[in-house]
Chains A and B, each alone.
Chain A
């Protein structure tokens, strides 16, 4: 006997396969054109600027598949934080101070074209486009824990490359002891910049050895796709053993300095936020418990988990701080 069940979906509602396939191809080509094409993996980079793109297409807003990246050993056994949580719970004050605001207010932001200027203690000041930055090194996936100073954490599959590769290209001179990262502060495109809540532009910094550490990456994507606007498109810093605010987003300037840079959060609260901001369960914060954390995505009844020294990356970074008083250098 044949039992026929009625489908809930009208056949007219189903996207014809040809159209569906076409859309996929288009997205792939657009992605390859914009990102991979720029990295020289394909020979049709002109596609991205050929004017064939529909008006509604917005890179950064609708992330595109990254064409080619290798996996890495980091993050084995960690449960990834869902994509929706990573992209709707953001601290990105340029787009508003609410956690849900960056996803809303960055919808129209266009992270292309993009250039980064290199200045300070370098052989020669210069600028580099995002397309050329993507050619500097092969992309790889890095699954990192991210611990926010506010007491929550995520596990994020970033796609990026070691910052060391970009620094090598920048050719800092012998005076360069620190690297300063300056984010875009465009009041036209970023509504939060109109509020005097932080001293814009957002500025972060690393000591040279921290910047050169293999764990430190420039991220250009997550979950295998290009970086969404609210996560810092087109490129951001990721330093997994430090509190999340060290990861400057939408970087437009990299400056090498002899003196330790004063970062935005150091200015905003000198007693609360230090230059190093290493994840450290032993160093108290005046607002939030630092010995434990809430894992985002774990649910209402999951409780807290213990925070690890250097966010669990002691083996890779601990030696850089040997002999330092981490209570003073918080």
Chain B
């Protein structure tokens, strides 16, 4: 049923937007463009910082902003495969590593803000905060899980690990769920924004699961 709705409504627009085969030159120019685009959130923080415009609580502002963009990059990364499933186009997949690493980059800034600007590297307080507060524990776990993914993101490791690499990188789904739960639990009462993120993640995972189930069934012509 949902596939039928998609076929009848958005599919045409999706195919136009993700045009069949962009030229090589265009693809590499788009890579540079995407790279610069992903740096804007960081540039913005510096700009606001120099202008003393990081709100009354600058540490919280930087902490929130870097966390937010890390989650955003993760969701963008996770949307590339569903686009393939929905349109059959594959060229967007070549930016997956770069976007994934930007997620890691903003996560590193997020953690650094927490450890340094928020807790001044006072480890007793940090450990206590992580143990006592579920949302911090969930966030810390998510970050630790990104480390092996970042370390194995180069071509050498991909060749070395082969099939195990794919298995390892399935961790990204767990990281995404932990990330959204981290956001959901830290918010005091107004959970509209984290719920939006949860909904987007559910949609992205739902598309995968849907096609997975479909591909296990006897072949049907969907594309």
Residues of chain A whose beta carbon lies under 8 Å from any beta carbon of chain B = 84-85, 88-89, 93, 97, 99-100, 150, 152, 195, 197-198, 268-269, 284, 286-289, 291-292, 294, 296-297, 299-301, 303-304
CB <8 Å contact, A85 and B56: yes
What are the 8 tightest A-B residue pairs by CB atom distance, in nearest-first order?
A: A89-B56, A97-B190, A85-B56, A303-B120, A300-B58, A296-B56, A289-B129, A197-B190
- Alpha-carbon distance A292/B126, docked complex (angstroms): 11
When C-beta atoms are compared, the residue in chain A nearest to B119 turns out to be: A304
Measured in the bound complex, the distance between the Cα atoms of B104 and A137 in whole Å is 59
The chain A residue sitting closest to B132, CB to CB, is: A284
Given A97-B189, A289-B128, A292-B125, decide whether A300 and B55 contact each other with a Cβ distance below 8 A.
no
Contact A297 B133 (CB under 8 A): no
> 20 A-B Cβ contacts within 8 A?
A88-B55, A93-B190, A99-B56, A152-B57, A197-B189, A284-B132, A286-B133, A286-B134, A287-B133, A287-B185, A289-B128, A289-B129, A291-B128, A296-B56, A296-B57, A297-B56, A300-B54, A300-B117, A303-B120, A304-B120
Q: Which residue of B lies closest to A292 (CB)?
A: B125
Query: Which B positions have Cβ atoms within 8 angstroms of A?
Result: 49, 54-60, 62, 117-120, 122, 125, 128-129, 132-135, 185-186, 188-190
| Number of inter-chain CB pairs below 8 Å | 64
Contact between B117 and A301 (Cβ–Cβ < 8 Å)? yes
Query: Across the two chains, which residue of chain A brings its CB closest to B117?
Result: A300
Chain A residue nearest in CB terms to B129? A289
CA distance A197 to B187 in the complex (A): 12
Q: Distance (Å) between the CB of B161 and the closest chain A CB?
A: 39
**A268 and B189 contacting across the interface, CB-CB below 8 Å:** yes
Contact between B120 and A89 (Cβ–Cβ < 8 Å)? no
Contacts of B133 in A (CB 8 A): 286-289
Contacts of B188 in A (CB 8 A): 150, 287
Q: How far is the CA of A27 from the CA of B188 in the complex (A)?
A: 40
Q: Given A294-B57, A296-B56 in contact, is the A289-B189 Cβ separation under 8 Å?
A: no
CA distance A294 to B55 in the complex (A): 14
Question: Given the complex of chains A and B, what is the CA–CA distance between A197 and B189 in angstroms?
Answer: 7
Q: How far is the CA of A294 from the CA of B59 in the complex (A)?
A: 9
In the complex, A269 Cα to B56 Cα: how many Å?
27
Cα–Cα distance between A93 and B132 once the two chains are bound (Å): 27
